[in-house]
Structure 1
Amino acid sequence: MADEKIDIAIVGGGVSGVYSAWRLQQANPKQKIVVFEASDHIGGRLLSVTPPGIPDMVAELGGMRILPEVQPLIGTLLKVLNKALPENEQITTYPFPVDQPQNIAYLRGTYLRLSDFTSNPDKVPYRLGFPNHGQTAGSIMINAIEQIVPGITNKKLSEEQRREMAQQASFAGKPLYQQGFWNVLMRVINGESYQYSMDAGGYDSTLSNWNAADAIPWYLSDFGADSVYEGFTKGFQQVPQVLAKFFTDAGGEVRINSSVSALQSVDGAVEFQVNGRSVRANSLILAMPRRSLDLLADSSPILQEINGLIASVTPRPLFKLFTTYTSPWWRAAGYTEPDGTVVPVQAGRSVTDIPVRQTYYWPKSNGAPVKTGPAMLLASYDDGDNTGFWDGLRPQRHKYKSKGQQVAKVDEPFVAENRKHNPELTWDQYQAPYRMVTEVARQLGTMHGLSYTPKVQDACFRDWGDDPFGGGWNSWNIGVKSWEVKQKIIQPFSQQHLYICGEAYSDAQGWVEGALQTADMMLAKFGLERLKKP
């Protein structure tokens, strides 16, 4: 007999989990609803930390931005939450810049400004040929996608229309969903153009060989010519934290450091173990990414029955390393116009083909660039194979456990001057190793063309390839009909009240929008409609 009985159990305290909990508790105030989170905090892959000594900045170790124009669910959610929040607790955003013309592209040993891609194309060290000579990486990709699915780049199309076009499309006589994105790209551009698009674009996994029918509309949404991003003034983690508070205020319960295992079906309900205790839930929601589901399946035969559905996506590595300084030294890497105007490097990102790949000149909490005083960089933002470079400069994966989740213990941490390590400080819980910090400092000097960069003051990192996440985002596998799988996995057994939701099995993989999309699909099974704008 179970030690505890509850109405609805939700496993996972990320956005999809706490959002679902909040909505269900609102609709069913008399029911006992509990969120079980294995780690010591709410947020999942949203992790916002304040750097020591810089209270007006927030480092986003996980998700860091949204695309309001193409992500209506997160936009509506923010409006609903803000309507209920007092003025001093509002969730506010700021314009999040990316590619600024004066920023740097250090590619194949050549120093470029981002503006050089179009204004000085002969300086670009790639043999692009006609018609890609003089194009940005994004333009090359958009033009290639138009050749693969004619008409899909029409700006008048909705997101849903683009997805339907790609799902129904064929290329070279074969359905697009049965082909890899990399495979079809290489049929319409040469190898140099592909490598340039990957190097200058800053990402590896986005152009890798995942399901082309999903990759194409996804790429157009995320990296289209008119993409406009927004960041969060108080950090993106504020969103799930507010959702969790609203859920508990409505009578729900959140249990952190609560690891769930051994799912089994018992008389129409689901029983499971939580830290050695048996719990029975009338309904169970797994708000988890693929790797977390795989780990849970090891002790849960019921999940092993749907291994094919769970394995329809692949986790993709993602790595972030933040460093702080006494001043924004990168401003000196700008240039002076002929009329004497100084144009500093101060916002957005620079890119390179060396392992740091992308460096973001981090803004203040209000979105303003740092001009003087303490400053911070997202020194390295890596995905794909490049994350492997840092493996030799960090502890062995999965070796240590800390506070309910596997977090690598740093044996040789980078120790900040004039400050003692504080294990209660969230920043210090993700302290970067000394060798990693010295290496990133060397590469930052190289990509900025500087023989000297000021000493790093503090550093923290997060490698989302570690368990239980397995990756920073997930992508649909080649040959999978995602539009069918995402419907089936919501409730994989028709007679069982077991549900699955999260970013992994959505149309907006890698984004909070995807987590909300699948949560809404799952909540429809409980008779709940999507949120409406207030």
Structure 2
Amino acid sequence: MADEKIDIAIIGGGVSGVYSAWRLKQANPGKKIVVFEASDHIGGRLLSVVPPGIPDMVAELGGMRILPKVQPLITNLLKTLNQLLPDTQQITTYLFPVDEPQNIAYLRGVYLRLSDFTAKPDEVPYRLGFPNHGQSAGSVVINAIEQLVPGITNPDLTEDQRRDMAQQASFAGKPLYQQGFWNVLMRVFNGESYQYALDAGGYDSTMSNWNAADAIPWYLSDFGVAPVYKGFTKGFQEVPLTLARLFADAGGEVRLNSSVSALRSLDGAVEFHVDGRSVAAGSVILAMPRRALDLLADSSPILQEISGLIASVTPRPLFKLFTTYTNPWWRAAGYTKPDGSVVAVEAGRSVTDIPVRQTYYWPKSDGTPAKTGPAMLLASYDDGDNTGFWDGLRPQRHQHKPKGQYVAKVNEPFIAEHRKPNLELTWDQYQAPYRMVTEVARQLSTMHGLSYTPKVQEACFRDWGDDPFGGGWNSWNIGVKSWEVKHKIVQPLGQQPLYICGEAYSDAQGWVEGALQTADLMLAKFGLNALKG
């Protein structure tokens, strides 16, 4: 007999987990609903920390922005939450800048401004040829996508229409879902164009060989016609923390430091172990990415039955390193116009093909750039092979780490008595090693063409390739019909009360929008509709 019986168990305290818990508790106030989170924090891959000495900035070690125009689920959720919250707890956003024309592209040893891609194409060190000569990296890919699926870049199309077009499309006589994105791109432009799109675009894994039918609409959503991003004034992690607080206030429980193992079916319920105790739940929701599901499957034969579904996506790397300074020295990397006015580098990002890859000039909490005083960089944002560069400058992967070393703490955790947590998130759990800091400082100096940069005051990093996440996001594998799998995996074992949700098996992989999408598909099994705007 189980040591404890509950109605609904939710394994995982990321966005999809606490969102599902809150919605289910609203609909079923009398049921015992518990969130089990293996770490000592709520938020999963949303991880927001305040740098020492800079209270008006928040470093986003995980997800950092949304696209309201094409992401209705997170937009509606924020609207709903703000209707419930007092004025002092409103979740507010700011315009999140990305490509500013005066920013830097340091590629193949050549210094360029981002505007030079179109204004001075002869200086771009890639043999692009017609028609890509004089195009930005994003435009090169979008033009190639239009050749692959004619009409799909029409700005009047909806997200669903683009997705349907790609899923039904064929190229060279073969369905797109059976082909890799890299493979089909190389059929419509040359290797130099691909390398240019990879280097100047700043991202590696998005251009890799994942399911072309999913990659194409995904790419257009993020890098398509005039994307507008929003960042979070108090940090993106505020969203899951708010959901967890509302769930706890309604009588739900969030149990941190609760590692689940050994799932099995038992008399119409699901039984599992938590720290040596057995729990029987009427329903179990696994709000987890693929790697976490793989780890749980090692002790859970019930998950081994659906190993093919779980393996339909691949975890992708993501590495972030933040550094702070006494002043925003990068402004000196700007230039003087003919009329004598100075254009500073102060917002958005610069790109390079050296391992730092992307550097963001981090905004203040209201979205304005730091012009004087203490300032911060997202010094390195890597999502591909370059993440391996930092392995030689950090503790070894998969080694034992002191408790909390890489986990943001909520100092007074949510417990059964529903006490309110202290939401002061700490920076020091992620401190970057000295050798890593020294190397990133050297690369930043090279990238900006400056012989001197001030001493780094503080530095922190997060490599999402570490367990239990396995990566910063997940992508659909070649040959998978994602439009079928995303529905099947929600309740993968017939009528058994086992459910799966999360970003990994969605149309918006790598985004909170995807986590909410699969959570809503799962909640429909409980008779709940998606939130309306």
**TM-score, normalised on structure 2?**
0.96
Q: Which residue of 1 aligns with 2:5?
A: 5
In the TM superposition, what are the counterparts of 1:215-234 in structure 2 within 5 Å?
Answer: 215-234=215-234
Q: Which residue of 2 aligns with 1:286?
A: 286
> SS at 1:486's partner residue?
helix
In the TM superposition, what are the counterparts of 1:138-287 in structure 2 within 5 Å?
Answer: 138-287=138-287
Distance 1:50-1:94 versus aligned 2 partners, 3 A rule: same
Q: Which residue of 2 aligns with 1:356?
A: 356
For the Cα contact (< 8 Å) 1:271–1:280, is it kept in 2? Answer: yes
Counterpart CA distance in 1 for 2:145 and 2:425 is 46
Query: What amino acid does structure 2 have at the position aligned with 1:394?
Result: R
| Alpha-carbon distance, 1:402 to partner | 4.2
Counterpart CA distance in 1 for 2:132 and 2:247 is 52
Query: What amino acid does structure 1 have at the position aligned with 2:221?
Result: S
Q: Which residue of 1 aligns with 2:59?
A: 59
Counterpart CA distance in 1 for 2:111 and 2:404 is 45
In the TM superposition, what are the counterparts of 1:60-459 in structure 2 within 5 Å?
Answer: 60-403=60-403, 426-459=426-459
> SS at 1:426's partner residue?
coil
Distance 1:234-1:2 versus aligned 2 partners, 3 A rule: same
Counterpart CA distance in 2 for 1:327 and 1:406 is 27
Counterpart CA distance in 2 for 1:359 and 1:405 is 25
> SS at 1:526's partner residue?
coil
> SS at 2:354's partner residue?
coil
Query: What amino acid does structure 2 have at the position aligned with 1:161?
Result: Q
For the Cα contact (< 8 Å) 2:13–2:44, is it kept in 1? Answer: yes
Counterpart CA distance in 2 for 1:232 and 1:496 is 39
Which segments of 5 or more consecutive residues in structure 2 lack a partner in the other structure? 409-423
In the TM superposition, what are the counterparts of 1:496-515 in structure 2 within 5 Å?
Answer: 496-515=496-515
For the Cα contact (< 8 Å) 1:262–1:273, is it kept in 2? Answer: yes
> SS at 1:437's partner residue?
helix
Report the identity percentage. 85
Counterpart CA distance in 1 for 2:403 and 2:480 is 37
For the Cα contact (< 8 Å) 2:181–2:207, is it kept in 1? Answer: yes
| Alpha-carbon distance, 1:398 to partner | 1.1
Q: Which runs of structure 1 show a deviation greater than 3 angstroms over 4 or more consecutive aligned residues?
A: 401-408
For the Cα contact (< 8 Å) 1:38–1:405, is it kept in 2? Answer: no
Measured against aligned partners, the alpha-carbon deviations of 1:381-435 in whole angstroms (never above 9, x if no partner) come to: 0011110000010111110144489779xxxxxxxxxxxxxxx962110110100
| Alpha-carbon distance, 1:292 to partner | 0.2
Query: What amino acid does structure 2 have at the position aligned with 1:27?
Result: A
Q: Which residue of 2 aligns with 1:473?
A: 473
Counterpart CA distance in 1 for 2:88 and 2:108 is 48
Measured against aligned partners, the alpha-carbon deviations of 1:418-455 in whole angstroms (never above 9, x if no partner) come to: xxxxxx96211011010000000000000000111000
Measured against aligned partners, the alpha-carbon deviations of 1:293-340 in whole angstroms (never above 9, x if no partner) come to: 000000000000000000000000000000000000000000011011
For the Cα contact (< 8 Å) 2:406–2:429, is it kept in 1? Answer: no
Q: Which residue of 1 aligns with 2:30?
A: 30
Measured against aligned partners, the alpha-carbon deviations of 1:202-232 in whole angstroms (never above 9, x if no partner) come to: 0000000000000000000011131110000
Counterpart CA distance in 2 for 1:304 and 1:517 is 25
Counterpart CA distance in 2 for 1:476 and 1:97 is 28
**TM-score, normalised on structure 1?**
0.96
Query: What amino acid does structure 1 have at the position aligned with 2:372?
Result: T
| Alpha-carbon distance, 1:359 to partner | 0.1
| Alpha-carbon distance, 1:495 to partner | 2.1
Query: What amino acid does structure 2 have at the position aligned with 1:294?
Result: D
Measured against aligned partners, the alpha-carbon deviations of 1:100-148 in whole angstroms (never above 9, x if no partner) come to: 0000000000000000000000110000000100000000000000000
For the Cα contact (< 8 Å) 1:67–1:230, is it kept in 2? Answer: yes
Counterpart CA distance in 1 for 2:385 and 2:244 is 35
For the Cα contact (< 8 Å) 1:313–1:474, is it kept in 2? Answer: yes
